[in-house]
Copies of this chain bind each other. A is one copy, B any other.
Amino acid sequence: MAKEKQVKLTRLELEIMGAVWALGSGSVREIQEQLPERKRPAYTTVQTIIYRLEEKGAVRRVKKIGNAHIFEAVVTRKAAHNRLIDELLNVFGGSPRLLMAQLVETGQLTLHDIRDLESTLAKLEADRIVKLRDSRQKKPAPGDRKEGKRQGGAR
């Protein structure tokens, strides 16, 4: 059950993972250059972080081009985001609803957004039920869907 190794990422590490996710894979130099110049650390800083990420198992070397190592993410963006959300939820007493309520309260989420999301979800839900029924005999319902099977690229 591909149990992803829940790694904990610091802010800078996240920043750099962001670049890796965006690139798919790349050398330290490429990763560094992928970062917005505003907050672009020195080459060696990025290198250090990449190494640390490697130790944590968040990225790995996939090959070597010239004398440069090419890295790619092991931890998916989704998994990392989930980790963050869980942490935040913990602070909120584990209640996603309180979180949402606050989002609304501060106007970061409008009633409109919610309605929108709701209808989208209702559709998805219905869809899933159908699929579920169609494959009744097969594997039990995937409680935890894997990465990617949705269109709507994360940017």
Measured between C-beta atoms, what is the minimum distance from A92 to chain B in Å?
7
CA distance A100 to B106 in the complex (A): 15
Measured between C-beta atoms, what is the minimum distance from A150 to chain B in Å?
8
Interface size class of A (residues with CB under 8 A): 35 or more
Determine the main DSSP class of A at the interface with B.
helix
Measured between C-beta atoms, what is the minimum distance from A124 to chain B in Å?
8
Tell me which of B104, B108, B145 contacts A121 (CB under 8 A): B104
Residues of B within 8 A of A125 (CB): 111
CB-based contact B105/A81 at 8 Å: no
A107 beta carbon closer than 8 Å to chain B: yes
* 12 A–B contacts from the bound complex (CB under 8 Å): A14-B91, A18-B91, A81-B102, A82-B102, A82-B106, A93-B154, A96-B103, A96-B108, A100-B109, A100-B117, A107-B144, A111-B125
